[in-house]
Amino acid sequence: MPELIKLRNVEKSYEIKAGRSYVLRRIDLDIRHGELVTIMGPSGAGKTTLLNILAMYDGDWTGEYELDGHPVHTLKQKHRRELTKQLIGFVFQQYHLLEDLTVYENLEIPLSYRNVKRSERQALVADILDRFQIVGKKDLYPSQLSGGQQQLVAVARATIASPKLILADEPTGSLHTSQGQMIMDLLAQLNDEGTTIIQVTHNEKWAAYGDRIVNLRDGWIVDPEDLPG
């Protein structure tokens, strides 16, 4: 399959008194359509920073980034935001559901960003509620849900607009093992249906769901043979 993502010499750094502090160094990475890729590494390795760059939430970096044929590094912020809405769903560790909106309303938000007609929004939300088996939760607020249920809604929200790419930052990090298993099985199913997924995790069991693992250390992509132990 052709590449969905191409990164070339991507770097992220901050100016400090002693010079520059690098969060990411010389990142070269290709991810094909339909892959499920796991990013692993210790805290501070640059995993979340890399996801935020891929999601175009962070625009302060250097290098080249091509997403589905679009040269992100040449685009203005407005066009990057539009590309994110069109192509990417993001699953956060801490859910990031809007507390003052019901499950139904939380699920509608990505569709409103895309100017989907009201009747079509209703049909899509009804379909995703049924698929994720949360029809009975549609009128509840996030505070009325368990952690696993909130993450289930978060995954549903990330997928409702049928993105080509799902970025998942420790999607099971706040969940019990059985809840984490449910979320990972769901992500694997979405991947089987053709969605490209990049997940960050510390859990080797969940990492094994992926086609391959990208290891980060101190901002560098490293070969598994170079890792300690």
CB 203 within 8 A of CB 183: no
Residues 6+ apart with CB under 8 A from 46: 12, 23, 24, 216, 218, 219
DSSP structure class, residue 210: S
Q: Are strands 3-16 and 19-32 parallel, antiparallel or unpaired?
A: antiparallel
CB 134 within 8 A of CB 103: yes
Quote the percentage of the chain above a pLDDT of 90: 72
Is residue 75 in a domain? yes
Is residue 58 in a domain? yes
Radius of gyration of the chain (CA): 18
* Coil, helix or strand at residue 126: helix
pLDDT category of residue 104 using cuts at 50, 70 and 90: very high
Is residue 229 in a domain? no
Mean pLDDT of the chain: 92
Is residue 138 in a domain? yes
Range with lowest mean pLDDT among 94-108, 127-141, 169-183: 169-183
pLDDT of residue 112: 82
The DSSP line for 127-172 is HHHHHTT-GGGTT--GGGS-HHHHHHHHHHHHHTT--SEEEEESTT
Residues 6+ apart with CB under 8 A from 14: 20, 21, 23
pLDDT (average), residues 190-209: 93
DSSP structure class, residue 67: E
CA distance 163 to 84: 9
DSSP structure class, residue 11: E
pLDDT (average), residues 142-149: 92
**13 burial class (0-12, 13-18, 19+ CB within 10 angstroms)?**
middle
Is residue 142 in a domain? yes
Range with lowest mean pLDDT among 7-16, 29-38, 110-119: 110-119
Is residue 89 in a domain? yes
CATH number of residue 214's parent domain: 3.40.50.300
The two counts, helices (H) then strands (E), for the chain are: 7, 10
* Coil, helix or strand at residue 215: strand
Phi, psi of 17 (to 5 degrees): -60, -35
Whether pLDDT at 115 is above 80: no
Question: Per residue in 133-142, pLDDT tens?
Answer: 899 999 999 9
pLDDT of residue 5: 98
Phi, psi of 102 (to 5 degrees): -70, 170
pLDDT (average), residues 126-134: 90
Is residue 29 in a domain? yes
Residues 6+ apart with CB under 8 A from 143: 99
pLDDT of residue 148: 87
pLDDT of residue 110: 86
pLDDT (average), residues 165-183: 88
Whether pLDDT at 162 is above 70: yes
Tell me the residue range of the domain where 139 lies.
3-223
| Total domains present in the chain | 1
pTM of the model: 0.91
Is residue 30 in a domain? yes
